[in-house]
Amino acid sequence: MKFNINLLGLCALCGGLLLSACNSINTFPNIARPGDTISFMVGGSAQARKENISISLTDAGGHVFDLQALGRVRSVFNLRADGRAEGTHYSPYLESYISWAFGHEPLQTVMVADLPGNAAPGHATLTVTLNGVTDNSSGTGAGPFTVSLEIIPGSGSSEPFLHPTLNATQPVDFARLETAPNAQVSFGTGSTPIGAASLVIGFD
């Protein structure tokens, strides 16, 4: 059971982040072996980073694993819908507006992590907290919130996501998917229109 970005991963984007048929907090797949790579959606936040998310796994035996402390969190990045998607243009007003009210376009935050190799098979729970994040437009806030996962018997392994290049076959570089250093200029949330502005901005 390996990580696979597919339409389920984009589900919560198509039409905003509040579709009843989709969850912006979920795993895909939701069944994995100990040691396998999993991915799961952790809301919609432009502020979320690998470094500011706390994540723990409670397995069927009651053992709690701090995935962040164990170095099992591989990446946190954002997915955005196709600008031509139906949901981008024809969603109900609340679904279209909610992410912009949090200061960013519609997006889905995804985490990729490796399960501990000694996690007990059975029903497991991931507990996620977005530390210092104020813009989670999924409706869950910063957490903590829980995600269910079934761990099945077997011996899994961390997925390198190999891909061919001109000279070799390379593992995926998740750092290239993560948010680069950036800044945002905001004029507040008031309704008074701005007629003109003159800005001098320095950014390293």
Decide if 97 is inside a domain: yes
Q: What domain range is 111 assigned to?
A: 7-176
Whether the pLDDT of residue 9 is over 60: the answer is no
Domain count for the chain, please give it.
1
Angle in degrees, CA 12, 15, 16, rounded to 5: 65
Better-predicted residue by pLDDT, 11 or 83: 83
Q: What share of the chain is helix, strand, coil (3-state, %, to 5)?
A: 10, 25, 60
Decide if 111 is inside a domain: yes
Rounded CA separation 13/70 (Å): 31
Residue-wise pLDDT for 32-41, tens only, equals: 999 999 998 8
Which CATH number does the domain housing residue 45 bear?
2.60.40.10
